[in-house]
A and B are shown apart, each in its own frame.
Chain A
Amino acid sequence: MSYSLNHPSAEEPLIVGRNLTKHYRRGSETVRALDGVDLSVATGEMIAIVGPSGSGKTTLVNTVACLDAPTEGSLIINGIDTRGLSEDALVAIRRGFFGFVFQKFYLLPTLSVAENVELPLLFLRRNPSRRTTLALLETLEIASRADHLPRELSGGQMQRVAIARALIVKPKVLIADEPTGNLDSATSDSIFDLFEDLSHQGLSIMVTTHNLPLAYRASRVVTLQDGKIVKEESRKG
């Protein structure tokens, strides 16, 4: 059994962000978390966002994923301009288009591994297929843990479950915010191996990390500082 993302390649970028700016008020001070960032994401591209703490990495991916609205600038997702859209409209865009992986996994403790993976399907009103779920878990090498509860898993296994949960809806873009932040180096390597495979299958990935060797496995590395892109490097091949 195998799981295929089956993403066709496309010329048009999936995401186009122009002059993305995000200001926060912190007391009397205005924090410029993002300051005029231009970024586009193409199909099958793996982009690593790097930079020091507070440079705006998480704000950038949250903004691009419609979890946070930019103060200024425009964001076009799959051809739709997201400016001024309601929360419900943003949910509709997020659903099925983005998959999310967070540093803290956020698995529901009362659901089994398979049930956690199938959870997004409930919100998409799609019937889960246990065969598909197991095939996905097989791809992620955790099929044997399908009926286990999250507390019975290691950190690496939990992150793989979180990745499976993100992939079950066959998203076009995977957003991973510090996915290896809580993992040892061997497990982190294996997670990035997986990301590379997925990227080769046509899945676009935006991943934030502090780990530069891992970041340089991406097809593009974007370095942020004080909310601005200070360096952008592409890797050929």
Chain B
Amino acid sequence: MDFHRHILAFATLAGKNLLRRVVRTSLAVTGVALAVAVAVSLAGFVKGYHGAITRSIDMLGFQVMVMAKGCPYEAATMMLKGGTGLLYLPDSIYTNVATDTGVASITPVFIGVAEKEQTSIQDDGAGSFIVVSGIEVPSFTTMKPWLSFQTGTGFDGGRWFTTDTEVTKEAPENIKQEVVLGYEVAEYEQRKVGDTIALTITPSGAVSSETHEYTVAGILSRTGTQDDGTVFMPLSSAQRIFNRPSQITVVGVKLKEFSSQAIRQFEERWISLPEVQIVGLQQVKSTLLNLISTAQAMIGAVAVIAIVVAIIGVINTILMSIHERTGEIGIMKAIGASRSDIFELIWYETLALCLLGGLAGIIVAYGGSGIIEFMLRHLIELGVQGEIVVISPGIIGLSLGGTVLVGFFAGLYPAWRASSMRPLEAIRAGE
């Protein structure tokens, strides 16, 4: 009998043994499937969330942020997902830092928060505030060269808004001011190029809010970052409507040489500026990912416990099956089965339970990843854009490999126990 035929014959026999108790086998497989589904989903979340944070920080386009003193991580988070409690700097800081010889490119950004216009669409997850960024288009797009305008029906003809200079040629009240919308803002607010959008803002020092109407000059393509949820307008317009003339929120800097030493030297040159902090985004990224890793370790422990419980279920199922088939095992040994034959048979049964459970778990996790992502986004303030549950081929392969490995070890004890039975004692015990 050749090797493949031998394996096939034993696997078929193992499969038939498992099908003898369909309910019990199904329950054991379900236990493994649920544990694997939890583990795969968590691994997918870990991978996706890591990727989303890394992407979000990398796609800020800055390597270093110059901003008002405060918690650097809060500041970074604010840049990633927007927020209230913003601190502002005089825009002279921008002028000063721009003279630094180590700077490759630099851009000032003003960030404010506007209330969303009421729409007929009920979307609790989208929140009721919208981030408004005042920018200088040339320097901002130098930092983010990947920004492009969405095309297609309703999007064609997109462009950046008219410059500040053009706006101020006439009295502001006579000019239909323009904004550019991030992809998700346009989607949520159902706006196309040429539509108007109203932003309700409470200017600094004012008690009541004001509503401003803008024409949508363009809609950006999706970036998977906070830019998708941002309304962009000229820096001077943002400063004016928020009543913060000559103030900015952050200066984004890209250095000629990107190294921790270059960032440290840059920091040393500008640390003397009053009320200013220099935040290196690489460091922020590392710190955020480290914080997340701690949470992930706890989540991982839960997955491990689920898998251990499932494995105990599998071992118990196989041991019960062996107990019921003691006489049969004795007969098989009597008619020529060696210890290794019995070991192989029982081991295949365990492996089959784990493998079936693993495959089912992966299918459940893969099929349900969209639902998990939807639930996570609606239950937790994640602070990052883009896909956060990524079940990659690597995770699938690792899960399958892990399941096989677990099945290998889980099957050892029952297989050893069955193979150690003496034929006559087994036949008698089965009577």
Which segment, of B121-129, B286-294, B328-336, faces chain A?
A: B328-336
Residue among A108, A123, A165 with the highest chain B CB neighbour number at 10 A:
A123
Check: A119 CB closer than 8 A to any chain B CB: yes
Q: Is the CB of A106 within 8 A of B328?
A: yes
List A82-106 residues whose CB lies under 8 Å from chain B. 87-88, 91, 94-96, 99-100, 102, 104, 106
B binding-site residues for A, Cβ under 8 Å = 1, 5-6, 9-10, 13, 16-17, 19-20, 327-328, 331-339, 341, 422-424, 427, 430-431
Q: Which residues of B contact A100 (CB under 8 A)?
A: 331, 334-335
Cα(A166)–Cα(B424), bound, Å: 17
Q: Is the CB of A122 within 8 A of B10?
A: yes
Type the 1/0 row for A135-177, where 1 means its CB is closer than 8 Å to any CB of B.
Answer: 0000000000000000000000000000001100100000000
Q: Is the CB of A123 within 8 A of B20?
A: no
How many Å from the CB of B341 to the closest CB on chain A? 5
Identity of the chain B residue whose Cβ is nearest the Cβ of A111 in the assembled complex: B16
Cα(A125)–Cα(B339), bound, Å: 14
Q: Which residues of B contact A94 (CB under 8 A)?
A: 334, 336
How many Å from the CB of B16 to the closest CB on chain A? 4
Q: Which residues of A contact B332 (CB under 8 A)?
A: 119, 123
How many Å from the CB of A107 to the closest CB on chain B? 9
Cα(A96)–Cα(B288), bound, Å: 68
Identity of the chain A residue whose Cβ is nearest the Cβ of B423 in the assembled complex: A67
Q: Which residues of B contact A68 (CB under 8 A)?
A: 424
User: Can you spell out 10 A-B residue pairs with CB atoms less than 8 angstroms apart?
Assistant: A68-B424, A87-B339, A88-B339, A91-B339, A106-B327, A110-B16, A110-B19, A122-B6, A123-B338, A165-B335
Q: Is the CB of B341 within 8 A of A123?
A: yes
Cα(A99)–Cα(B331), bound, Å: 11
Q: Which residues of B contact A126 (CB under 8 A)?
A: 1
Q: Which residues of A contact B1 (CB under 8 A)?
A: 121-122, 125-127
Check: A179 CB closer than 8 A to any chain B CB: no
Contact of A123 among B336, B424, B430 (CB under 8 A): B336
Check: A120 CB closer than 8 A to any chain B CB: yes
Cα(A106)–Cα(B5), bound, Å: 25
Q: Is the CB of A96 within 8 A of B335?
A: no
Q: Which residues of A contact B17 (CB under 8 A)?
A: 110
How many Å from the CB of B321 to the closest CB on chain A? 12
Q: Which residues of B contact A109 (CB under 8 A)?
A: 20
Check: A219 CB closer than 8 A to any chain B CB: no
Contact of A108 among B328, B341, B423, B430 (CB under 8 A): B328
Q: Is the CB of B338 within 8 A of A91?
A: yes
Q: Is the CB of A67 within 8 A of B424?
A: yes
Contact of B336 among A62, A87, A96, A127 (CB under 8 A): A96
How many Å from the CB of B1 to the closest CB on chain A? 4
Q: Which residues of B contact A104 (CB under 8 A)?
A: 327, 431
Check: A124 CB closer than 8 A to any chain B CB: yes
Cα(A94)–Cα(B336), bound, Å: 6
Q: Which residues of A contact B327 (CB under 8 A)?
A: 104, 106
Cα(A65)–Cα(B6), bound, Å: 27
What 9 A-B pairs come out closest when comparing CB atoms? A123-B336, A110-B16, A95-B336, A106-B331, A123-B337, A125-B1, A120-B335, A67-B424, A91-B338
Cα(A126)–Cα(B10), bound, Å: 13
Q: Which residues of B contact A127 (CB under 8 A)?
A: 1, 5
Contacts A120-B336, A123-B341 known; 20 new A-B pairs at CB < 8 A = A62-B424, A67-B423, A95-B336, A96-B336, A99-B335, A102-B331, A102-B427, A106-B328, A106-B331, A110-B16, A110-B19, A111-B13, A119-B332, A119-B335, A122-B1, A122-B9, A122-B341, A123-B335, A123-B336, A125-B1
With A67-B424, A110-B16, A126-B1 already in contact, the answer to whether A91 and B336 are too (CB < 8 A) is yes
